[in-house]
Amino acid sequence: MTKARSLAALKASLPHVSIPSFLFFTLAEWRSNPALVLDRIANDLPRGLYIVRSSKCGEDSGHSSMAGAYLSVQSVSEDDLPSAINAVIESYGNAENDDEVLIQTYLRNVIYSGVAFSHDPSTLSPYRVVSIAEGSDTAQVTAGNGGNTWYVVPGCTVLVPEFLRGPLDLLESCMAVYGETPIDIEFAATEIDDQSVTWLLQARPLILRGSPESESKLRSRVQRVNAQLQNSFTPHPFLRGKSTVFGVMPDWNPAEIIGQRPRPLALSLYRELITDSIWAYQRHNYGYRNLRSFPLMRTFAGLPYVDVRVSFNSFIPAALEDHLAEKLVDYYLDTLIKQPTLHDKVEFDIVYSCYTLDLVKRTETLRSEGFSNHEIDALLDSLRGLTNEVIRPDSELLSRDAKRLNRLDQRREVILGSVVDPLEKVYWLLEDGKRYGSLPFAGLARAAFMAVQLLRSLTAIGVFSDQDYDSFVRSVTTVNQRLAADLQASEMSEFLKRYGHLRPGTYEILSPRYDEAPDAYFAKQPSGIAESSKEVFRLSLDQLDELGSLLRNHGIQTDPVSLLNFIRSAIELREEAKFRFTRNLSEALSLLTQVGESYDISPEEMSFTNIKALQETYISGGDVEAILRGSIERGREQFDDALHTHLPSLVWNADQSFLFRAMQEEPNFITQRSVTAPIAFVTDTERLAGRIVFIPSADPGYDWIFTHGIAGLVTEWGGPNSHMAIRAGELGLPAVIGAGSRNFASWSQAGMIELDCEVRKVTVIA
């Protein structure tokens, strides 16, 4: 049934639904007697403006909607109808005589319009997905040019905003006609004499790549999530802050590292190596509050979220009194809720976690929020003391953590060369990975965050220009730059001995290592890196004098040269630590693949197990295969929940489990450069050179793309201090890090885009 005939059937079945006047005709009718068709339009439709829409056979079938494939022309006058009709027909390409054209009256006084789905295509669950754009242009949402998207669980008990009721009621009415078939509708709302009317513009089957989930199953699961959240938004006796927020990007940002819907093995490994205790242990070592008993990451229906209250507590200097800590945490949380687009920039734009040369100015905001001069001075003093302990030249924090990495390398070789059982090797690789790997990495990452904040403050107060900042970043030498140079200078076998353990999904057993699939990652003739020659950064004498004076005035216990050496060393050591500790993880994943194969369990099945179950087999013994298969079964259920659940990137109210608005992201632009180039997905390994490459996250395992001479980079997830942000800065590569789901989906459909990082803008060229 064509679009036009579907609309006619709905009009007959739903007399109470408002549908703009319309008629349709076949191409045979138009071709044989266009004047007769125009007379029908003049006689059967109200005079005024029209919309000429496509209604090609097969356009809205149950197999393919072809949405947006053909032309629609808005606001067409009677005189312009012939040219508009011919333009729509021309857009069909091979047009047949039984294809149709739909003419609708043009709605006036449109206040908003949009599209509504009966099901969420990404989860196959019956979330009502409503995208709305204000204004008279009824094509804004379908063209991807604006609007907000809301997700609603059917039958939810929370109060639905008034402006959503019309589209939702309209959607439910159409669903009653379509029965079990998922649908999508286009609608518009008009307002005349203070009366709002929601109009149905068209409806069609919604094509899903799988069987949709039942409403009862969705509601049951979301009710459990809602109860879990309600229990979390309460005061805690050992935490400052009256409530909390959950986010996918603050602090150790799980969306960037393991994804929004990680498989259970990857999720459990990330918890084991980082978020259960290591993160807090090392943060306490660096002068912050002791949060060692608090897991940083929580899961809701298998979706990982950072408990932001726990995170914000951990950024409070240990020396600060409880009453001020309470006040600060509540202020931080309130600020994040008011400005949710800062969720991947909390440490730069919300939290005061170290002393910087622009901190006095930045904390002026606190006065307007009710903080006294005494409280602000106490915060400044505590942050100054904490920062001095880390950055002063005689501090041993960085060198102590760096030495642990050497111990990690030594012990790893002993473990791998031993004759112990593979599961025992996995156990010790991960135990060492925590003690000598992720623990120092967490410390060096903390120092690197301080380093970057100090570096940014030099620009904020005018000691550095933006060009100075970029030049300094490009002068930093990291392991990732050595990777690219070694690829071109070494035999592949030698290169893979050093870098073969890396994999794009660092925690994912299904992600091949570099040495398992080198041809998939590296061109046979490397095309080089998109980088300029290595820069040597130097301060002028005036800059040295100014910076030295500032450091003394602020009570920072270092000199300009030592400060820049600290910044450089912290950034370099963080990347080195990440590179070396992930070797233990990668070797453990390879051994787990072997363990699974010994029981005829595939890597895909192993991805559903939990590392705790595997550790338990080493500690307590038992039937390894039975334990593995039981863990896999439970993991499949957990992963299935995650695949069918949609929650916002930031959750601060339990009712958001039932109804929420998708967040508008604020991307992070890296460098001051611009580039215009065709796009490519990271999977298009044969055509990355000279293109702007799209990758899902800022995982360090994607470093291989820099060996292909790419022109620019866009990631869906990632913060301004993430691995790929650092790499792009080092290389002087124009990049958008953390574009967000909506921007990423929209831009990645283009053929060519312009990244203008200086003006912070992405433009679709073709």
pLDDT tens readout for residues 724-755: 776 787 788 888 888 877 788 878 888 888 88
SS3 182: coil
Structure tokens at 12: 């007959």
φ, ψ for residue 125, nearest 5 deg: -100, 155
**What is the rounded distance in angstroms from the CA atom of residue 628 to the CA atom of residue 756?**
50
Q: Which pLDDT value is given to residue 517?
A: 87
Top CATH class, 1-106: alpha beta
pLDDT digits (tens, 9 = 90+) for 335-394: 999 999 899 889 989 999 999 999 999 999 999 999 999 999 999 999 999 999 999 999
Amino acid in the structure at residue 522: F
Quick check: 138 and 113 in contact, CB under 8 A? yes
Q: Is the dihedral of CA 638, 641, 647, 651 positive or negative?
A: negative
SS3 (DSSP) at 696: coil
Please list the residue range(s) of the chain that carry CATH number 3.50.30.10: 661-764
Task: Write out the two tokens for 224.
Answer: 């459990």
Q: What is the pLDDT of residues 519-567, one digit of tens each?
A: 878 865 444 444 445 667 888 899 999 999 999 999 999 999 999 999 9
Stretch 246-268: mean pLDDT:
91
Q: What is the pTM of this model?
A: 0.86
What is the dihedral angle through the alpha carbons of 697, 435, 444, 353, rounded to the nearest 10 degrees? 90
pLDDT at 437: 95
d(CA 127, CA 184): 12
Asked whether the beta carbons of 661 and 648 are under 8 A apart, the reply is: yes
> Could you tell me what percent of the chain has a pLDDT over 70?
94
pLDDT at 47 over 50: yes
DSSP symbol at 739: -
DSSP string, 559-616: -HHHHHHHHHHHHHHHHHHHHHHHHHHHHHHHHHHHHHHHTT--HHHHTTS-HHHHHH
pLDDT in tens, 390-427: 999 998 899 999 999 999 999 999 999 999 999 999 99
- Average pLDDT over all residues of the chain: 89
As a whole number of Å, the end-to-end CA separation of the chain is 33
Cβ(59)–Cβ(203) below 8 Å: no
Q: Where along the chain do the CATH 3.30.1490.20 domains lie?
A: 1-106
374 annotated active-site: no
Distances (CA, A) of 734 to 365, 691, 756: 32, 11, 8
Tokens in use for 67? Answer: 């949405």
Which of the listed ranges 208-217, 680-689, 714-723 does the model predict with the highest average pLDDT? 208-217
Whose tokens are 């027909």? That residue is: 89
Tell me what pLDDT residue 698 has: 65
Confidence of residue 699 (pLDDT cuts 50, 70, 90): low
Topology (CATH level 3) of domain 661-764: Glucose Oxidase; domain 1 (3.50.30)
Residue 49 backbone dihedrals phi, psi, to 5 degrees: -95, 160
- Choosing from 119, 343, 501, 723, which is the catalytic residue? 723
